[in-house]
Amino acid sequence: MVATVVTDVVSTSRAVVRGASAAKAGTSARWAWLWSLGQAIGPILLALLVSAALLLALGKNPLTFYRDIVSQGLFNKGGIQDTAIRMAPLLLMASGLIVAFRANIWNIGGDGQFLLAAALVAGAGPPLIGALPNALAFVILCVTAVVVGGGWTVVPAYLKARYGLNEIITSLMMTFVGVNFANLLIKGPFRSTTTQVPQTDVIPFKELLPRIPGTRIHVGLVLALIAVFAVHYVMTRTAFGLKLRVLGANPRAAAHAGLSIPRLTIVGFMLSGAFMGLAAAVEVLGVWGYVRADWNPNFGLPLFALVFLARLNALAVIPLVGFYAVISMGGHFAARQAALPDDFMLMIVGLILLFMTLTEYLAGRSERGGYLSAGLKKALGKGGGDE
C-alpha cells in the first residue's frame, strides 16, 4: 500500500515537473517570437516616428504624407500593380543576399552585378528578340544575366577563398568597375543610333515579358516568388543549404567537419551574384525594355536592411519587400504632393538602418539573438577574412 502511494506521488511529481517545463518552454518560445517580431517591426516604426517629427519641423502634415504613401502604393489600382512590379527584382536580389549572408559572405557589390547584367541584356535583347521566338530569347537573355551576375563575383570570391581578403572591399571595387563598364557598353557598342540620349535600342513594349492576365504585372514576379521559396527550401531542407549555414555560423567548425571552405565560398558568392543578374533581366525585360547610361536604381542599400530585418529568412523577407515597395512607389507620389525631394524616402531607409544598429547593440547587451549570425559578426569585426 505504501509503495503504491509512493509510486503515485512520484508519478504525479514527474507529471507536474514535465508540465512546468513545457509551460516554461512555451513561455520562452513566445518571448522569443515576440522579440523577433519586435526586431523586425521596431526599427521601421521608430524610423517612421522620427520621419514624422522631421515632417512636422518642415511644416508638413505627417499623417497626410503617410496616407498618400499608403493610398497610392496599396489602395490605388495602378499603384498596387506598380508595387507588385517593383517587388520582382527586389525579391530576387534579396534571395541572393540571403544566400550570401547565410554563408558568411558580405556581397556588397550587388548593384554592380545588377547593372552589368542589365546592360548586356538590354544591348543583346532587341536583336535577339527580333531573330528568335520570344520564349527562347527570354530564356537565353535570363541565362546570360545569371552567368554575368555570377561571373562578376568570381574575383572577390576567389580572393576571399584563396587568400582570405576582405570581400567587402573587393566586391565594392568590382561594383565600381562594373558600373563604369556597363556605362561604357551603353555609350559604345550597345548605343542606339535612333536617339541622341546614350541608351540601348528599345525592345517593343508588346515584346516584353508576358503580363498576368488582367493586370500590368509581368510574370517576373511569379519567377521571383518561386525563387524565394526555392531559396528557403534549399537553405532549410537540403544538405547544401546546411553546409552554407554551418559555414556562416562557424567557419572553423565547417572546416573541422571536412567541408571545403574555398569551394563553398566561391559557389555561395556566385549564386548570390546569379540572383542579382536574374533580377536585372527581369527588370529590363519586364519593365523598361532598354537601359540608359548612368541609370542606377540603387536597390542594394534598402535590401541590406530588409534581409536583416527578416533575420535572413527568405519567406519573412516577402512582406518586408512588399512594405518597401509600397513606400517606394507611394513615396514618390507623397513627396511630390508635399513638395519634398524623393531623397526623403532614402532618409527613411537610413533611419531604419540606424535603428537596426541600435537594436543589434541592445540584443548583444541582453544576450538575445540579433540580426547578424556569429559568423557574420566575426567576419565584419575582423575585416571579412577567414581566421
How many folded domains does the chain comprise?
1
Q: Tell whether 268 is covered by a domain.
A: yes
CATH code for the domain in which residue 365 is found: 1.10.3470
Q: Tell whether 89 is covered by a domain.
A: yes
Nearest to 160 by CA among 147, 151, 149, 169: 169
Q: Tell whether 40 is covered by a domain.
A: no
Q: Tell whether 199 is covered by a domain.
A: yes
Residues with Cβ within 8 Å of 179's Cβ and at least 6 positions away in sequence, in order, are: 111, 112, 115, 116, 296
Cβ contact 323:91 at 8 Å: no
| Residuewise pLDDT in 10s, the chain (387 residues) | 444 544 553 454 454 445 544 445 556 666 666 666 677 788 888 999 999 999 999 999 999 999 999 888 888 878 899 999 999 999 999 999 999 999 999 999 999 999 999 999 999 999 999 889 999 999 999 999 999 999 999 999 999 999 999 999 999 999 999 999 999 999 999 999 998 899 999 999 899 999 999 999 999 999 999 999 999 999 999 999 999 999 998 888 888 889 999 999 999 999 999 999 999 999 999 999 999 999 998 888 789 888 988 889 999 999 999 988 998 888 888 888 888 887 888 788 788 878 887 877 777 666 555 555 555 555 555 544 444
Q: Tell whether 287 is covered by a domain.
A: yes
Which cell numbers in the block locate residue 358?
541600435
Q: Tell whether 33 is covered by a domain.
A: no
Q: Tell whether 290 is covered by a domain.
A: yes
Which cell numbers in the block locate residue 144?
546570360
B/e letters for 229-241, b = 16+ CB within 10 Å, e = fewer, are eebbebbeeeeeb
Q: Tell whether 116 is covered by a domain.
A: yes
The range of the structural domain enclosing residue 359 comes to: 60-381
